[in-house]
C-alpha cells in the first residue's frame, strides 16, 4: 500500500540537524541511524579484473571489508556502514551478490564481536532492467532484479537500496532539449510510477527477511543534470535547470518511503534534505568527501542534515596512506567525529549553519538545497501530496521562486545565461496545465511519437 505524505515531519526547518531524525532506523550489529550520532558510510568499487569470476570478486570484497574494518578499529571509530554498490555481474547473477554479502557480513561480525564496533552492510542492487537500447522495467529482467534483493537479504545485507531508472528514456531526450515538461514527466510522473511499483516489492522482500528497505536516489536523472551542468564555468546546462530537476526528483525519491522504505536514503541523493524534511527518515549524504568520484559545488552544505556521511565511491587500490578504502573511511570518520562532538557540546546548530553558509550562495543548486529552502520545497510537495504530477510541478515552481528571491536579495548572483534559463523554466511551468489527466495524455501523445525508446508498457499504461 502506497501512503502519500501530505504534511511535514518537522514543524520548522531549524529543527533539522545532522545525526538526528524523527524516525531512527536500527540495522546490523548494534547500529542505530539518526539516533543522536552521525556514522561514516564507506562506498567502494572493485578493480575491473576482479569481476572475471565469482571467486575473484568475493576475495576482492573480503579484502575491501577487512581493510575498512581494521582501519576503523585502529583509529577508535565507534561505528561504520559499508555500502556495496553492485557491479553488473552481481545483480545479473544474484548468487554472486549473495556470496559477496555473506563474505562481507562474516568479517564485520568478527570485528563487532572482537572490538564492539557498531556496523551495518548496505547492498545497492544495480538496476539491470535493460534490453540493449530499451528499458525493460516490467519485462523478463524484473524477476532477476528482485532475486538479487532476495539473495542479498538472505545472506547478510542489512540495508537494501537501488538507483532506479524509471523515466530516464524521456528525461534523457528532454534534458538535451531544455524541455521542461519532458523533464517533469520523466522524473516526476514516470519515475514516480516505477518507484511505487518496485519499492512495494523491495519492502516486501525486506520485511520477509527481517532487514531494512533503505531507499533510492534519482541518480539516473537529477544527478545526470547536475553532472551536465558541471562547474561555474560550464555552460552545457544551466545550473538553474539542474536544480529544478533536483526539486522535481524529491517527490520521485519520496515514493520509496511512501511504499514502505524507512531510510537511510542513499548518499548520492542530493534531494535527501528535502525528503528528510517531509518524512523524518534518516539520510546518507555525500559532498566534499566524494571528490574521489566527482565534483560538485556544495561540498560542505550537504553535511548539514546527514545521518550517514559518505564518499560516493572509490576504486580499491593502494595509496601512500594505505588502500583507498582505508584512506577514505578514515576521512569520513573524522568528519563524523566533528559532528558528534558538536552535538555533545550543544554547538551542532552552529556547525550546521557554518557548513550551510559556506556553500549556500556559491550556486543556485546549493541555495535551494540549503536546509531552510529545502524545507520550503518540501512544503510545496506535500501541498498536493496525493498527486505525483502536481507535487512535482509545485516543487519546480517553488524552486524557481526561491532562486528568484535569492537574486532579488542581492545575495545570490546569476550570470545572464543562468538568468535567461530561469526565466524560460518559469515560463514553461506557468504554461503547464493543473489537470493531471490532461498532462498525462498530452505527454503520452508527444513522447510516444518523439522518443523511439519510450515504451508505455514499462509503466503499465
Q: Burial level of 452, CB count in 10 A (0-12/13-18/19+)?
A: exposed
8 A C-beta contact, residue 200 and residue 163: no
Cell of 171: 528525461
Predicted TM-score (pTM) above 0.95: yes
Query: 23 by DSSP, 3-state: which?
Result: strand
In sequence order, the β-bridge partners of residue 328 are none
Site of grid cell 520548522: 12
Q: What is the pLDDT along the chain (461 residues), one digit of tens a residue?
A: 689 999 999 999 999 999 999 999 999 999 999 999 999 999 999 999 999 999 999 999 999 999 999 999 999 999 999 999 999 999 999 999 999 999 999 999 999 999 999 999 999 999 999 877 889 999 889 999 999 999 999 999 999 999 999 999 999 999 999 999 999 999 999 999 999 999 999 999 999 999 999 999 999 999 999 999 999 999 999 999 999 999 999 999 999 999 999 999 999 999 999 999 999 999 999 999 999 999 999 999 999 999 999 999 999 999 999 999 999 999 999 999 999 999 999 999 999 999 999 999 999 999 999 999 999 999 999 999 999 999 999 999 999 999 999 999 999 999 999 999 999 999 999 999 999 999 999 999 999 999 999 999 999 99
State how beta strands 79-85 and 39-44 pair: parallel
- How far apart CA 259 and CA 124 sit, in angstroms, is 18
- How far apart CA 414 and CA 416 sit, in angstroms, is 7
Domain-wise residue ranges, the chain: 13-459
The H or E element containing residue 385 is none
Amino acid at each position: 500500500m502506497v501512503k502519500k505524505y501530505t504534511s511535514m515531519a518537522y514543524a520548522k526547518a531549524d529543527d533539522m540537524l545532522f545525526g538526528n531524525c524523527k524516525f531512527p532506523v536500527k540495522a546490523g550489529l548494534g547500529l542505530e541511524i539518526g539516533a543522536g550520532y552521525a556514522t561514516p558510510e564507506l562506498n567502494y568499487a572493485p578493480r575491473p579484473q576482479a569481476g572475471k569470476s565469482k571467486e575473484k570478486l568475493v576475495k576482492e570484497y573480503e579484502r575491501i571489508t577487512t581493510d575498512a574494518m581494521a582501519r576503523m578499529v585502529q583509529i577508535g571509530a565507534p561505528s561504520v556502514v559499508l555500502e556495496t554498490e553492485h557491479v553488473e555481474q552481481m545483480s545479473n547473477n544474484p548468487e554472486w551478490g549473495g556470496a559477496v554479502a555473506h563474505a562481507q557480513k562474516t568479517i564485520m561480525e568478527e570485528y563487532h564481536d572482537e572490538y564492539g564496533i557498531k556496523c551495518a552492510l548496505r547492498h545497492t542492487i544495480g538496476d539491470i532492467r535493460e534490453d540493449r537500447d530499451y528499458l525493460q522495467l516490467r519485462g523478463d529482467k524484473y524477476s532477476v532484479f528482485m532475486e538479487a534483493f532476495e539473495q542479498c537479504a538472505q545472506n547478510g545485507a542489512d540495508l537494501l537500496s537501488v538507483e532506479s531508472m524509471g523515466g530516464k528514456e524521456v528525461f534523457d531526450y528532454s534534458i538535451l532539449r531544455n524541455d521542461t515538461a519532458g523533464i517533469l514527466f520523466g522524473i516526476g510522473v514516470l519515475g514516480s510510477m516505477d518507484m511505487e511499483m518496485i519499492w512495494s516489492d523491495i519492502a516486501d522482500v525486506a520485511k520477509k527477511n527481517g532487514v531494512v528497505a533503505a531507499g533510492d536516489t534519482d541518480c539516473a536523472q537529477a544527478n545526470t543534470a547536475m553532472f551536465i551542468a558541471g562547474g561555474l564555468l560550464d555552460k552545457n546546462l544551466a545550473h538553474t535547470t539542474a536544480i529544478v530537476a533536483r526539486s522535481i526528483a524529491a517527490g520521485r525519491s519520496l515514493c520509496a518511503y511512501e511504499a514502505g522504505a524507512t531510510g537511510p536514503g542513499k548518499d548520492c541523493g542530493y534531494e535527501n534534505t528535502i525528503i528528510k524534511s517531509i518524512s523524518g527518515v534518516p539520510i546518507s549524504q555525500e559532498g566534499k568527501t566524494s571528490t574521489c568520484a566527482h565534483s560538485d559545488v556544495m561540498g560542505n552544505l550537504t553535511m548539514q542534515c546527514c545521518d550517514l556521511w559518505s564518499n560516493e565511491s572509490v576504486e580499491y587500490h593502494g595509496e601512500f596512506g594505505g588502500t583507498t578504502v582505508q584512506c577514505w573511511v578514515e576521512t569520513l570518520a573524522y568528519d563524523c567525529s566533528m559532528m558528534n562532538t558538536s552535538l555533545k557540546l550543544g554547538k551542532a546548530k552552529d556547525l550546521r549553519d557554518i557548513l550551510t553558509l559556506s556553500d549556500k550562495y556559491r550556486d543556485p543548486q546549493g541555495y535551494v538545497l540549503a536546509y531552510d529552502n529545502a524545507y520550503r520545497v518540501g512544503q510545496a510537495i506535500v501541498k498536493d501530496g496525493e498527486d505525483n504530477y502536481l507535487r512535482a510541478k509545485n516543487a519546480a515552481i517553488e524552486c524557481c521562486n526561491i532562486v528568484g528571491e535569492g537574486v532579488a536579495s542581492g545575495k545570490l548572483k546569476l550570470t545572464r545565461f543562468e538568468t535567461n534559463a530561469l526565466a524560460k523554466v518559469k515560463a514553461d511551468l506557468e504554461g503547464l496545465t493543473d489537470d493531471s489527466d490532461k498532462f498525462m495524455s498530452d505527454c503520452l501523445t508527444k513522447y510516444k511519437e518523439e522518443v523511439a525508446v519510450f515504451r508505455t508498457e514499462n509503466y503499465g499504461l
